[in-house]
Structure 1
Amino acid sequence: MKVFLIGFMASGKTTIGEELAKVLSYRFIDLDQFIEKQEGQSIKAIFELLGEEKFREIENKALRDVAAMEGNIVIASGGGTSCFYNCVDFMNKTGITVYLRAEVEELLARLIESKTERPLLWGKSKDELNNYIIRVLDERKKYYEKAKITVGINDLDVNNLADTIRAINE
């Protein structure tokens, strides 16, 4: 079975994904790391050299490649993965989607520290970043809310999430 973690950047998909994979005894794949290994360059470099549109094409192919792998896998998608190429529908057909829902204030606090590493956030002031999060979260919400499971990151218990996933899989 495949478990796809979706949600805004910095919502904890990688950190929670690693924990969840351990609890479920599944393999873990971070989609961004998978892309970087396949492409031989960082996500930042791909954005700089090829632009977002080409990155989204690469990301879509990588998602489908990972989903086609044998075995049980927890997959941490990128923040925008579920919002392009009908990927959220693909993930729902292929496995279980989990939306890690975070409030704007929490995302801002997390992203202010890492904005130089994230191509879509380069050069934004705190106010610009806050406005960006509000706008993009509003645009992406319709995709994120298609997930089979939604859990708030502040009250997330990985063991309970694992139990919910096991119950759905039975």
Structure 2
Amino acid sequence: MSETRDKTTPEDTAFLQTVGERVRNARARRGMSRKILAKDSGVSERYLAQLEGGAGNISILLLRQIARAMDLPITDFLGDRAPLGVDQALLLRQIEDLSPEQLQELQGFVRDRFGVAASVKRHIALIGLRGAGKTTLGQLLAQAFGLQFVEMAKEIEVEAGLSLNEIFDLYGQAAYRRFERRALERITADPAPKVIATGGSLPSEPTTYAHLLTHCFTIWLKASPEEHMGRVVAQGDMRPITGQSEAMADLKRILTQREALYTRADMAFDTAGKAVTQAAADLATALRAHPAWLARDAAE
């Protein structure tokens, strides 16, 4: 059963007009007549005219044909931001093959050379796989530093006006990611310092993770795969027990894939073999002594 809509909203109309304008501008930059674009894309001139005028509710497949005919990514027409200029596109092409180490070096150069000031990281954010202790240690860390504790999962629900299950069931993962980004932007816009427990998969979303790293002193809570799984089961989730070997293999694979992302955090803290109270005390001590945290305090 497909979802239908009775009418086009003003927001829909504005979006269609933006898409049409981008197609028209891209065609003009390439010196292509509408007739030539119709021939190369297989989309009729009449339909192109409707599209460029903001009146054509084009399908994704037809828009992909148009993008291919102009040798452009389809995101140039659909993205929230305007398409890149020539210099921006050239710069992005040049950095595509840089290693993570080279990219970090480039970030430092841009910051130092062009005076791009680093944001003061007022908040503390905890990242890591499920079962890392983000909520438990986050609450204790907030108490130790006299800060507000924020659970991202709950803030996403507030942002959406729905439970997490309802978000996924009704709108899917893409919508969840949008609500996650909006919730994080709202939380970090508040200058009152907080301790934020994030979702385990947040680092997998580049723009959201970049925002987190920019505005939060980020701590990766590490643990062994076995401890991660044991803690998940202790929380009452018995699914890993059903297919334990497969669940463990999945967990190890996820940890391997995300490790390079987690290492971008300002600090890593290993919780392996530690009771909760001891881990919380050690984390607070390590944070207070960390050079980047001391530099943050000095900047404040």
Q: TM-score range with shorter-chain normalisation?
A: 0.7 to 0.9
Runs of 4+ in 1 over 3 A off after TM superposition: 112-116, 121-124
Question: Which position in structure 1 is the counterpart of 2:176?
Answer: 55
Question: Which position in structure 2 is the counterpart of 1:98?
Answer: 219
Report the RMSD for the aligned CA atoms in angstroms. 2.2
Matched length: 166
Q: Any unmatched runs of 5+ in structure 1?
A: none
Secondary structure of residue in 1 paired with 2:131:
coil
Q: Distance in 1 between matches of 2:123 and 2:289?
A: 14
Question: Which position in structure 1 is the counterpart of 2:296?
Answer: 169
Q: Any unmatched runs of 5+ in structure 2?
A: 1-121
Question: Which position in structure 2 is the counterpart of 1:134?
Answer: 252
**Residues 1:139 and 1:94: Cα distance change in structure 2 (over 3 Å):** same
**TM-fit CA distance, 1:162:** 4.0
Task: Tell me the amino acid that sits aligned with residue 132 of structure 1.
Answer: D
Q: Judge which range, 154-163 or 74-83, deviates more.
A: 154-163
**Residues 1:70 and 1:49: Cα distance change in structure 2 (over 3 Å):** same
**Residues 1:124 and 1:87: Cα distance change in structure 2 (over 3 Å):** farther
8 Å Cα contact 1:88/1:147 also seen in 2? no
Identical aligned residues as a percent: 25
Secondary structure of residue in 2 paired with 1:147:
coil
Higher relative contact order (CA 8 A, sep 6+): 1
Cα-to-partner distance string for 1:23-66 (whole Å, 9 max, x where unaligned): 11111101001112332332222222222222112111111111
Q: TM-score, normalised by structure 2?
A: 0.51
Q: Distance in 1 between matches of 2:270 and 2:263?
A: 12
8 Å Cα contact 1:19/1:158 also seen in 2? no
Which one has the bigger strand percentage? 1
Task: Tell me the amino acid that sits aligned with residue 25 of structure 1.
Answer: G
Q: Distance in 1 between matches of 2:231 and 2:170?
A: 26
Question: Which position in structure 1 is the counterpart of 2:264?
Answer: 146
8 Å Cα contact 2:149/2:196 also seen in 1? yes
